[in-house]
Amino acid sequence: MNNREKNQSRREERQKQIYRGALKLFRKKGFHATSMREIAKASNVGLGNIYNYFKSKEDILFLVHSNILGRLHQCFDESSKTYEDPVDQMVHVIRSIFELTCQFKDEMLFVYTETKSLEGEYLHEILRQEAQFIADFQAMIERGVKLGVFDCRHPDLAANIIVFNLSISPLRGWNMFPYHDAATMLEALTNFILRGLGVKREVPAPSLRSPLSSGSS
């Protein structure tokens, strides 16, 4: 690794350090009530030094959103490329994203509640990334319709509904995890979505790849 790569690596590590400190404060106090001075203290970074990495707390908020959306896109791409059959694709994409939303439950909930705090180009870019995520689902559904495995009149609406339902853990986990384990929730969610796409048969959800709980990562 050359000096340029080492410097970039150190910069990314310091950004992650600040990101984690800021996220804890954002979740505890709220975005608007948190100051850059508090973020610097929580991150063990000098107030003057923190501006070498982020010009404002809006920059940090954008990174929180972008990181979560980036993980969602990665989950979708890796899971969908593994299978050819649209039903298998959908089943394994549901599993991957459900696992992610359970693992990063608090971060996901924060993103849902604080998107309103983004403005201008930041808001435009996050909405663009989210629209692309929905478009990926729409394309998968449309392919399934063409192959005769899905029966769906409005793939664009179905894609939006599916993405919303995949947020069940951060949005409704408080009322579900006390009574159902993650595997039961995943199986119910998988078949609920598949029935909405016109798949008549029950499809067992694939096993979770690691134990999940209602806690954050």
Name 8's Cβ contacts closer than 8 Å, sequence gap at least 6: none
Q: How far is CA 104 from CA 40, 42, 134, 142, 194, in A?
A: 23, 20, 20, 29, 24
**What's the CA angle centered on 123, arms 119 and 125, to 5 degrees?**
145
Whether residue 72 sits in one domain with residue 24 = no
Among 21, 36, 55, which residue terminates a domain? 55
Whether residue 155 sits in one domain with residue 51 = no
This prediction's pTM: 0.84
Instruction: Tell me the C-alpha distance between 63 and 60, whole Å.
Output: 5
Whether residue 108 sits in one domain with residue 135 = yes
Whether residue 104 sits in one domain with residue 28 = no
pLDDT in tens, 150-207: 999 999 999 999 999 999 999 998 899 899 999 999 999 999 999 999 998 877 778 8
214 domain-assigned: no
Structure tokens at 161: 């509904």
Q: How far is CA 150 from CA 77, 166, 192, 194, in A?
A: 20, 19, 14, 8
- For residues 68 and 104, is the Cβ–Cβ distance under 8 A? yes
Domain of residue 47, residue span: 1-55
pLDDT in tens, 76-96: 999 999 899 999 999 999 999
What is the count of structural domains for the chain?
Answer: 2
Average pLDDT, the chain: 90
